[in-house]
Amino acid sequence: MNTDLREAAKEYLVRYGGDTFPNLFRSAKGTIVTDSDGREYLDFTSGQMCATIGHNHPAIVDAVNRAGQKAFHLFSGMIPEVVVELAQTLARDWLPGDIKRTIFINTGSEASEVALRMAKMYTDGYEVLALGGSWHGITGGASSVSMASDRKGYGVPAPGVFVVPEPNAYRPYIPGATDEQSALATLEIALKMFDMQSAGRGAAIIVEPVISAGGVLVPPRSFMQALRKAADDRGMLLIFDEAQTAFGRIGTRTGSEYFDVVPDIMTMSKTLGGGLPLAAVATTAKIEEVLHERHFTFYTSHVSDPLTAEVGLAVLKVIAQEQLMARAKEMGAYLRGRLEELQQRYEVIGDVRGLGLLLGVELVRDRQSRAPAHELGALTTTKCFENGLSMNIRRRPERGSVWRIAPPLTVSTGEIDRAVDILDKSLRDSLDEMAAKGTA
């Protein structure tokens, strides 16, 4: 490894939180990332959950080259042809219900800002309901409705945010109830609390169809339908944050399709850009007309950029041509089966859950208490990386110790087998090490 660059990283880079590896990295291809020593790792987080069709897919490389022959960037008022092609493709082939008009920006945080801005202007309200365990971004408005990260130390958040307890079948808020009963009962209480406190200025309910950063939680369908009704009853808009659920990862076109609930606004990001910074927000023609009449503005230096639109169009074509939605179901079932085999052998694997190729594995000290195994999770994640497998673990004290496993949709059974073998060895070694220290 280039030790000079490692030292330069320490001297010149701002440390921005999250898991940071000691290595520097050089390249990525498919499901493999390579560090500066030339060592390869299976990437079972698809980068930051973004490389849906694998790192540096040839179609993405070709799209970047095409953009290089035409344009990477234009004045924001000049709408590139490829942006219209992408919007048309989304409306015709991917978006649910009457949702058809889209704005293209760069990141998921930015998409959340657009969606909240739309909802507040359309309703003339400012109050927003968000789920516990949610993650919608790190910018001002987005961070105020994100509950899965540390909220301390950043000043006063945007006013008017109310929390709905997230549905958690493994850790229900109401003991003895079914997951559906618990989810609906806590929602009813949260809505009553909101109605008591509301100034009558409701704007939106924002939700991830699968609550990923909160532990890969899949709500009951009835819960999502109840959110739709709650929004309608209060004159609020329903926003689906589909950063991780759109475009095939869960085996359907969108989370909206899976839950059979159509939101008013849909945000998309990670899975659309295939590793490049592309995000989108889509809504109905009716809502967009009102917003336009009221002079809605989200005019940035990189709105409607042709480079990322070219890539987004390529990603959607690959998903369709290579039938990756069906593959997500097939490979997701295979991966889940392998993980459930481990669960049968290890008492510390309390739960395996998720949809398609977005899976969560929750670690516990024992299945009776369900006490989170934070130390075991951290140690095993480190050993997995040392053995050639990169995974992401969520270690919020109030929500357990959960691996988020989300390989590219192009992952093979052979790669899944290798990853599970590494996980098996790493977990066993971690348990042995903790037992030897008397901390198991």
Pairing of strands 202-207, 127-131: parallel
Residue 421 has pLDDT above 90, yes or no: yes
Q: For the chain, what is the mean pLDDT?
A: 95
How far is 172 from 183, CA to CA, in rounded Å?
Answer: 8
Q: The dihedral of CA 204, 244, 427, 417: what is its sign?
A: positive
426 in Cβ contact with 380 (< 8 Å):
yes
pLDDT recorded at residue 50: 95
> What integer pLDDT is reported at residue 399 of this predicted model?
65
**pLDDT average, residue stretch 39-57:** 96
Assess whether pLDDT exceeds 70 at residue 440: no
DSSP structural state of residue 217: B
For residues 308 and 273, the answer to whether their CB atoms sit within 8 Å is: yes
- Between 15 and 216, name the one with better pLDDT: 216
Find out whether 246 and 281 touch, Cβ atoms under 8 Å.
no
Please say if the pLDDT value at position 344 is more than 70.
yes
**Average pLDDT of span 256-285:** 97
Looking at residue 261, the DSSP 8-state letter turns out to be -
Is it the case that residue 187 has pLDDT exceeding 80? yes
Reported as a pLDDT band with limits 50, 70 and 90, residue 3 is confident
Which of the residue ranges 151-165, 337-351, 364-378 has the most confident prediction, judged by mean pLDDT? 337-351
Mean pLDDT of 233-249: 98
pLDDT band at 439 (very low <50, low <70, confident <90, very high): confident
- pTM (2 decimals)? 0.96
Per cent of the chain over pLDDT 90 is: 89
- For the chain, the residue count is 440
Instruction: Tell me: pLDDT of 125 over 90.
Output: yes
Specify the pLDDT at position 148.
Answer: 87
Residue 150 has pLDDT above 80, yes or no: no
The residues that are catalytic are 135, 208, 241, 244, 270, 404
Residue 184 has pLDDT above 70, yes or no: yes
Query: What would the pLDDT profile of 291-305 be if each residue is shown by its tens digit?
Result: 999 999 999 999 999
| Predicted pLDDT at 64 | 98
Average pLDDT over residues 42-49: 95
Q: Which domains does the chain have, with CATH numbers?
A: 3-57+323-437 (3.90.1150.10), 59-321 (3.40.640.10)
pLDDT of residue 396 exceeding 90, the answer is no
In this prediction, residues 367-388 reach a mean pLDDT of 93
Q: Please tell me the predicted confidence (pLDDT) of residue 17.
A: 79
Percent share of the chain, pLDDT over 70: 98
Question: Does the pLDDT value for residue 1 go beyond 60?
Answer: no
Query: How far apart (Å, rounded) are the C-alpha atoms in residues 24 and 6?
Result: 7
For the stretch 248-266, pLDDT in tens is 999 999 999 999 999 999 9
The yes-or-no verdict on residue 2 having pLDDT over 80 is: no
Q: What is the dihedral of CA 192, 193, 194, 196, to 10 degrees?
A: 90
Lowest mean pLDDT among 18-22, 68-72, 340-344: 18-22
Q: Please, what's the b/e burial string for 217-247 (b: 16 or more CB within 10 A of its CB; e: otherwise)?
A: bbbbeebbebbbebbeebebbbbbbbbbbbb
Query: Using CA atoms, how far apart are residues 426 and 200, in angstroms rounded to an integer?
Result: 53
Integer CA distances (angstroms), 77 to 100, 198, 206, 287, 408, in order: 20, 39, 29, 21, 35
